[in-house]
Chain A
Amino acid sequence: MGETSTSINSEATSHSTVQIVGQILGSDQEIKLKVERADTLLEVMQKVANHFGKELLPNETNPLDRLHIVNKAGQVEPAIQDLAQIVEDFIHDEHQKRFGVELVLAFRVNARWSVAPKPSMSPREILALPEINLDYQSYTLYRLNSAEPLPLDIATNVTRGSAFEAQKDGKYGCRSRHS
C-alpha cells in the first residue's frame, strides 16, 4: 500500500494532537495525519477525505459517506455510527487509529439524497428507495436538465453524486378538474 508523505506525518505528537492513518477505502493510498484530540470523528473523516481531494456527500456536515476502523488484520470494521464522538474518547488503543472513509454511491432525486444499493437501477427501483419514496405512478424520472423521461423499468446508471428529477407531469391551460 502506497503512503503519502506530508509535512504533518511526523511520529511526534503534542498532548493536544494524535496521529492517525487515514485512507479512502478501495484506494491504495493512505496518509498519516495529525488530528486534534478534541476533533470529532466527523472532522477526522472530513480531513481524510479532503486530503485526498474527495468531497463528502451530500455535504460535509451530514454525510451519507461512512467512517470505519481498519483493524490490524486489514479488515474493515462496521461503520462508526456516532461521528460526534471526539477522538480522545474514541481512541483507546493503536488499532483504533487507522481510519477508512467509505465513499458511498450517494445520489439525489430532487432534494432527496439516498445511497444506491447497486450501480444500475430502474426508475421504479429508484423511486421506491425509502429516502426517495415517490410513487412511480405519479412521478416521472428524468436526469437533471433532460427532457427525456427515463423508462420506468429500464435500468440506468447511478453514479456517485448523480442527480435526477422526479416530476409530476404538467399541462398547459386549465387547472386540473379535480383540484
Chain B
Amino acid sequence: MAAAQDILESQVASLTTKGLVARRFKINEQTYVESTIQAPAPPWDRSTYTILVAVPVAYRVGAGLDGFYIQLPYKFNDGAHSKVNGATLVADKRTFQLVSWHYADGKEWMQGQDTLETHLVHCRGFFFHRGARNAY
C-alpha cells in the first residue's frame, strides 16, 4: 500500500509543481485526485472546471485510471451534456458527477506508459470533444 501511495504521491507532487493538480484526498477509503481543467467557453459556460479522478487501490500494480467527475453545476451549450450522466458524490460540500468518458478501444490504459499526467490530458479531451466518435 505504501508503494501505491508513493507512486501517486510522486506523480501528484510532480504535476503540482507544474500547476496541474490541486490535491488528493480520500472519501471512504477511495482516493481521488482533484485538478483544474481548462475548457473552451463556449460551448462550456466557464473556462475552467474542477474535476476529480478516482484512483484505484491497485494503481501501483498497473490498474488504470478511467473517467472523471465534473463539479456541478456546469452548462454545455446552455444546457446539460448528455454524457455527464453518472453517479454523484459530495466532497467538501461540493457535488461532482461522473462523466461517461473512457479510453477508446485499441487505446486502453497501458501500464508504464500512461500516468496521471496523460490521464488528465485525456480528460481534458472530453471538453474539446477530441477523438470521440459516438458524439453527443
Interfacial residues, chain A to chain B (CB-CB below 8 A): 110-112, 134-135, 138-140, 142, 145-147, 149, 165-179
Contact = CB atoms under 8 A, between A and B. Distances in A.
9 contacts: A110-B118, A142-B128, A149-B131, A166-B118, A168-B107, A170-B101, A171-B104, A171-B134, A172-B100
A168 B125 CA distance: 9
B26 interface: no
Interface of B: 14-15, 18, 20, 38, 40, 64, 66-67, 83, 100-105, 107-110, 113-114, 117-118, 121-122, 124-126, 128-136
A173 B126 CA distance: 12
Contact of B118 (A168, A175, A177): A168
Contact of A171 (B14, B103, B113, B118): B103
Contacts of B20: 111
Contact of B124 (A140, A165, A179): A165
Contacts of B64: 179
B122 A168 contact: yes
Given A170-B132, A171-B132, A138 B102 contact: no
B131 A140 contact: yes
B102 A169 contact: no
A13 B87 CA distance: 68
Majority SS at the chain B contact face: loop
Contact of B130 (A110, A138, A169): A169
Contacts of B124: 165, 167
Contact of B128 (A147, A166, A173, A174): A147
Contacts of B67: 175
Interface of A is mostly: loop
A68 to B, nearest CB: 27
Nearest to B85: A172
A20 to B, nearest CB: 30
A143 to B, nearest CB: 11
Contacts of B130: 140, 142, 147, 149, 167, 169-170
A51 B107 CA distance: 47
A172 B83 contact: yes
A167 B122 CA distance: 5
A179 B66 contact: yes
Contacts of A112: 117
Given A147-B40, A168-B107, A170-B126, 13 more contacts: A135-B113, A138-B113, A166-B121, A167-B121, A170-B101, A170-B104, A170-B132, A172-B132, A175-B66, A175-B67, A176-B105, A179-B66, A179-B103
Nearest to A108: B18
B32 to A, nearest CB: 18
B117 A110 contact: yes
A138 B110 contact: yes
A165 B18 CA distance: 15
Contacts of A171: 101-105, 131-134
A137 to B, nearest CB: 9
